[in-house]
């Protein structure tokens, strides 16, 4: 299925909301570090219609598991970054706007193992990394739930379009377990609900390491009760410990493909995803490295973080490296 934005749950900011939300974003962007580390994010100042819409999405997600916010203003942009460490200049309104959306949903959160704990991520191609299966690549990126290896995965993520690719082929691809499950056999569902799967750490978490990538503890791919299923799956990194599980993963992949929704995001479009319901990916595109390549910004949001994890955060909102978490506590928390 290909969606254009008219076939899904969405919210379009009107002119007054755009101005108000933009002003809030600018203010928070200039105070971003102090607010995220020490301050209270003024979510009550978010336009009431948008705030109510996001909270309803959070509490009552649609079967597709995602929604689209349209009409976010984008301040003037520099050239699309050339390296994976480049960031938008401090004070860009989108940093504040993404913080506000993340805070309405939960709490904006980063991972010390990924992008040095950044809370807002730049998503754009990097020369020489075209075939990497992460957000610096430009090849087709298969369906995945974010940070599938991690015991404390994001509850939500958002992808805000700043620029499209030149040929308008780099579309966001989404598919929900709550829609795909109709194409799975009862036996496959039963197999996917057993903890016979592991997930490799994504390459974005292992850039500083060497040797084979580590894997998660065993986990199910589908959990929850029908019809409100949840999913923990990455087509590139999740694997089975036996042949029956491998066959079930292949059936799941085919079912997700059959229930595909594809959106070509326009600048100012923000797709917000429930990371436990909808897997996402990207169709391939051809970068030109001319300063005007495809560019998105991403955030993660968690509803809650255990106190013992929060106490070990290197800085507020940044989850510590997995190697520093108590493995017994992790196992108990995620059992």
pLDDT for 158-193, tens place per residue? 999 999 999 999 999 999 999 999 999 999 999 999
pLDDT bracket for residue 7 (50, 70, 90): low
pLDDT bracket for residue 326 (50, 70, 90): confident
In sequence order, the β-bridge partners of residue 69 are: 11, 270
Q: Interhelix angle for 93-105 vs 15-30, to 10°? A: 100
> N- to C-terminal Cα distance for the chain?
35
Q: Which helix (H) or strand (E) holds 143?
A: strand 141-144
CATH number of domain containing 51: 3.60.130.10
**pLDDT tens-digit map of 105-162:** 999 999 999 998 999 999 999 999 898 888 899 999 999 999 999 999 999 999 999 9
In this structure, the number of other CB atoms found within 10 A of the CB of residue 229 comes to: 20
Total structural domains in the chain? 1
CB of 235 closer than 8 Å to CB of 142: yes
Residue 31 falls inside a structural domain: yes
Q: State mean pLDDT over 293-307.
A: 96
In sequence order, the β-bridge partners of residue 219 are: 197
Find the domain containing 83 and state its range.
10-176+266-333
- Can you tell me the distance from the alpha carbon of 30 to that of 25, in angstroms, rounded to the nearest whole number? 9
Residue 90 falls inside a structural domain: yes
**Which is nearest to 273 in space by CA: 172, 156, 177?**
156
Distances (CA, A) of 69 to 18, 57, 92, 106, 206: 11, 11, 19, 17, 32
**Which is nearest to 113 in space by CA: 323, 327, 329?**
323
Residue 246 falls inside a structural domain: no
**Which is nearest to 73 in space by CA: 160, 9, 145, 8?**
160
Burial grade of 128 (CB within 10 A; 0-12, 13-18, 19 or more): exposed
- Exposure string of 77-90, with b = 16+ CB inside 10 Å and e = fewer, is beebbeebeeebee
- Quick one: pLDDT at residue 330? 79
Residue 91 falls inside a structural domain: yes
Residue 216 falls inside a structural domain: no
Beta-sheet pairing, 172-176 with 278-282: antiparallel
**Which is nearest to 233 in space by CA: 147, 318, 156, 168?**
147
Residue 207 falls inside a structural domain: no
Widest distance between CA atoms in the chain: 56
Residue 230 falls inside a structural domain: no
CB of 148 closer than 8 Å to CB of 249: no
pTM score over 0.85: yes
Provide the residue count of the chain.
335
**Which is nearest to 301 in space by CA: 172, 158, 177?**
158
- Can you tell me the distance from the alpha carbon of 301 to that of 119, in angstroms, rounded to the nearest whole number? 10
Share of the chain above pLDDT 90, in %: 82
pLDDT bracket for residue 203 (50, 70, 90): confident
Tell me the Ramachandran region of residue 129: left when phi exceeds 0, alpha when psi lies from -120 to 50, beta otherwise: alpha
Q: State mean pLDDT over 291-307.
A: 96
**pLDDT tens-digit map of 16-35:** 999 999 999 999 999 999 99
**pLDDT tens-digit map of 240-279:** 989 999 999 999 999 999 999 999 999 999 999 999 999 9
Residue 153 falls inside a structural domain: yes
pLDDT bracket for residue 1 (50, 70, 90): very low
């Amino acid at each position: 299925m290909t969606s254009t934005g008219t076939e899904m749950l969405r919210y379009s900011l009107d002119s007054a909301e755009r101005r108000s939300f933009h002003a809030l974003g600018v203010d928070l962007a200039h105070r971003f570090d102090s607010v995220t580390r020490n301050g209270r994010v003024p979510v009550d100042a978010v336009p009431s219609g948008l705030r109510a819409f996001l909270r309803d999405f959070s509490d009552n997600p649609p079967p597709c598991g995602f929604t689209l916010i349209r009409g976010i203003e984008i301040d003037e942009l520099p050239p699309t970054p050339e390296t994976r460490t480049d960031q938008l200049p401090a004070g860009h309104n989108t940093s504040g706007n993404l913080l506000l959306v993340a805070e309405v949903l939960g709490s904006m959160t980063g991972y010390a193992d990924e992008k040095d704990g950044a809370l807002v991520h730049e998503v754009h191609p990097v020369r020489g990394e075209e075939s990497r299966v992460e957000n610096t690549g430009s090849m087709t990126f298969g369906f995945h739930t974010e940070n599938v290896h991690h015991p404390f995965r994001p509850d939500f993520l958002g992808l805000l379009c700043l620029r499209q690719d030149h040929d308008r082929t780099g579309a966001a691809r989404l598919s929900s377990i709550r829609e795909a499950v109709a194409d799975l056999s009862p036996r496959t569902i039963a197999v996917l609900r057993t903890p016979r799967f592991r997930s490799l750490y994504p390459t974005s978490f292992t850039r500083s390491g060497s040797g084979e990538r580590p894997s998660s503890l065993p986990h199910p791919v589908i959990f929850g009760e029908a019809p409100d299923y949840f999913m923990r799956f990455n087509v590139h990194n999740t694997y089975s410990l036996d042949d029956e599980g491998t066959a079930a993963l292949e059936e799941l992949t085919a079912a997700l493909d059959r229930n595909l929704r594809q959106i070509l995001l326009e600048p100012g479009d923000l797709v917000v995803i429930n990371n436990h319901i909808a897997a996402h990916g990207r169709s391939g595109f051809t970068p030109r490295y001319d300063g005007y390549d495809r560019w998105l910004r991403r955030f993660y949001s968690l509803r809650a973080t255990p106190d013992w994890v929060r106490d070990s955060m290197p800085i507020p909102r940044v989850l510590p490296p997995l190697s520093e978490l108590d493995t017994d506590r992790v196992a108990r928390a995620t059992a």
